[in-house]
Structure 1
């Protein structure tokens, strides 16, 4: 991952430059200035402060710190086991928290507070979170799904434009009459009275309605008709059965939506991809309308039997309640005895009337309601024009309705209603490429972008397409390649890449450091002990960071924090460990016992290490005053991590372990032991 590589390179260069300065520039300055480097103090004053004979503030502070580290040396020597046990007790819950917690890729949550973040949350409060960052699936086809370029447009002649303009005016006027009629019905008027009221209104306001209709028609009548024609590979119809790339993509889209109801928005915005008006019409609209016609016919038969039985019972002297019971029983018996015949007759009735103009218009209106809001208005306009054209030419507005027009050169042309609507649904929304060889699915989740659930869905979606038995395999004749993409998918790929690579990097770094420490210290055990202490520091720090931010503050821990923490603590922790351990080794070479060598090293070196830890940790802690959650997490994790390692792990736990290990700390190969003694 390029960002992580860049960070590593920048940190490495920074350390190299700092090392060069420390080895060259700083000694040169000291040599040039001599004791003036320490102005207003001098080496004599520093020595007096160390001896305790100088009573300045620095001298008093130096004396206090000296006594403190003498006490630390005694404590780690006399209470080595309790210190190690305490470290283990702290480590057990820390390891549990570390193992059960995970960092987040939700970059919105860690943005600094401000107008932009507030705006994003306002949008997510009002609509689906995935609206901000949808997930896309790019599907590539073996051949083009269209016969013509998706931008094909037919410019209408004045004659054809006038015909369409007149039809749109009629649409407007009919809608006005329908509104008046419905208002009368809602007020309790009968159908006859409502029709009379509507006709009277239209007559009384004829001039006003005509002017409004003209204005509406001029604004909404298309002067050019963009259309899309599918190729044989894209869509082939055999009666009401469809095959090709488009039906395959539509099936996949519906499958994704129905199988992920907990994460994918379930309205028209949930999954949008290639769509054919004809497929929608015959696969959804016609079956629903057929069932409605069958139910209506069946209810009509039952109502006729019931009415006849009721009238007969009343004529025979039965009371109203008795007649109702008799009619109900006879209707039930008749329907049960003749159910097969009734079902057959109902199917015949539905087949005979499914293409009635009123039924076709109902089907079209029902499908319009399924359209995404972005295209609903355009689709509704073409459906209305198709219905008006069908009525004017004694046809029905089925998808295959042929609309005959002439272009500006007077050439006749025929466009199907479905071609116009398919352009809006596919080319107008940018869901299909210019050459028709690729299309995209847009998936809107009901969770906010980059949340844990959204990230889990990215993995499930990739597996649904590329896994064994997935869409790529099932629809291999229609899909040559598919790619899950979008911001969420990118972050998911980053998470997988970084996690896998970082796990390998951690192992490699630890092995290399163990080898390096083995060569530097000449010991089998000490390198392992040093790495162990540093890793404990990392685990303690991460556990504390997860508890504070995720549990107490409800702020997800950014994914890059553990990476940076591991790198920084490993580097600084090893510096501190090597500094103390080499002092102990030098003392051992001079003839001290193991315990005395450790005590002397703590007394002389721990002050410098603690000061470095306070300076470095305090510097990182200044990030806590920032308004960005990510900066606060960096500041907390790095600052606390350095404090834990420099003030506790190196000062207490490491020496306590060395006391317990005794001479095992210095067991190593003879050639390295001789080398270090010679040094």
Structure 2
């Protein structure tokens, strides 16, 4: 009985995915246009509404510890201030000038100058933000600007440490490395490996583009649910987790479909028939794996910690969107539109001759 129900479920899923693929190959331009329009709307919503926080307290539940911290911040501020340290080398006049400049900043509660008998002067400045606050980043930038002005005027060297510097370099340093280098290395590695494996440049480029579409949709959904409905900001590591995970998961799912598509092409089917057949055969495996992964991450939503809830919704929704919408609809549409150019530039004549018989 159980096997019969399972077989029926797979059969229904196969039929559903087959209908989606047939719709896509019959109306490829319409499908691509709709996906581009939805992605443009989702991206616009993201850029206009996303509010990132680097403060983990902001995405924690209202536990007694968070309530206590809130009381300290609102009613006993002097117990929750953080400290910045500025070190000046070998110039007392520069140290005194910097001390006066620091005291003039509205975020500085008090500042004192210390001298350790060597060649360094140290300014200890108490600032009016707690050590996890997002506002420490602009405070660090302001301190650096003031320090640079004094350093240029007196020809001295100034170093900045303490909570503002820790926050700035941990968050912005990581973001610059990830969004400025690591993400491009991940994409490049995927493209190179898939190009060698599939003997095509267009397939990995299309893969990356469709994965980024899924990420955009799921991020927009997550921001709407948490920011608009619940009033909770987006934690800064959530997009990093989502992008890194979906780039690998989307690659696996896409390889199943495209590998089968190539086999069907070699067996003599046209592009349209081959991609529909590929979705029919691999669809139940892909969607089954996606459901398992999505449910595993969705279980994080049971946590009381909003960081984990955000990851749960973002990853689960992106996997479902990618496997149930993007792969059976958008991928067949793009493949049909590209035709023989799917295999560019390593064009195989035997595959190309068959592929060229299909109409984009």
Query: Does TM, normalized by the shorter one, top 0.5?
Result: yes
Deviation at 1:114, TM superposition (A): 1.8
Deviation at 1:652, TM superposition (A): 1.4
Correspondent of 2:325 among 638, 642, 648: 648
Deviations 1:614-665 (A, max 9, x none): 1101110111111111111111111111111111111211112112222322
**Paired position in structure 1 for 2:211:** 534
The answer to whether the 8 A contact 1:576-1:609 is kept is: yes
1:457 aligns with 2:149: no
- Structure of greater Rg: 1
Deviations 1:338-391 (A, max 9, x none): xxxxxxxxxxxxxxxxxxxxxxxxxxxxxxxxxxxxxxxxxxxxxxxxxxxxxx
- Give the TM-score normalised by the residue count of structure 2: 0.87
Correspondent of 2:26 among 68, 78, 82: 78
Deviations 1:390-413 (A, max 9, x none): xxxxxxxxxxxxxxxxxxxxxxxx
The answer to whether the 8 A contact 2:110-2:125 is kept is: yes
Change (3 A) 1:676 1:506: farther
Change (3 A) 1:448 1:82: farther
Correspondent of 2:283 among 594, 597, 606: 606
Partner secondary structure for residue 606 of structure 1: helix
1:94 aligns with 2:42: yes
Q: Map 1:487-526 onto structure 2 (within 5 A).
A: 488-503=164-179, 504-526=181-203
The answer to whether the 8 A contact 1:462-1:484 is kept is: no
Correspondent of 2:69 among 120, 123, 137: 120
The answer to whether the 8 A contact 1:472-1:482 is kept is: no
The answer to whether the 8 A contact 1:137-1:483 is kept is: yes
Change (3 A) 1:536 1:111: same
State how far apart, in whole Å, the 1-side matches of 2:335 and 2:343 are.
10
Deviations 1:87-106 (A, max 9, x none): 11111122223334353211
State how far apart, in whole Å, the 2-side matches of 1:474 and 1:484 are.
21
1:471 aligns with 2:150: yes
Change (3 A) 1:674 1:432: farther
**Paired position in structure 2 for 1:140:** 88
State how far apart, in whole Å, the 1-side matches of 2:15 and 2:89 are.
78
The answer to whether the 8 A contact 1:136-1:484 is kept is: yes
- Give the TM-score normalised by the residue count of structure 1: 0.48
How many residue pairs get aligned? The number is 351
Partner secondary structure for residue 108 of structure 1: helix
The answer to whether the 8 A contact 1:542-1:637 is kept is: yes
**Paired position in structure 2 for 1:252:** 101
State how far apart, in whole Å, the 1-side matches of 2:140 and 2:82 are.
11
Partner secondary structure for residue 614 of structure 1: helix
The answer to whether the 8 A contact 1:70-1:599 is kept is: yes
**Paired position in structure 2 for 1:658:** 335
Q: Map 1:105-184 onto structure 2 (within 5 A).
A: 105-128=54-77, 132-142=80-90
Q: Map 1:195-214 onto structure 2 (within 5 A).
A: none
* CA RMSD between the two structures: 2.8
Deviations 1:71-130 (A, max 9, x none): 2222222232232222111111222233343532112212343222111111111144x8
Partner secondary structure for residue 68 of structure 2: helix
Partner secondary structure for residue 85 of structure 2: strand
1:585 aligns with 2:262: yes
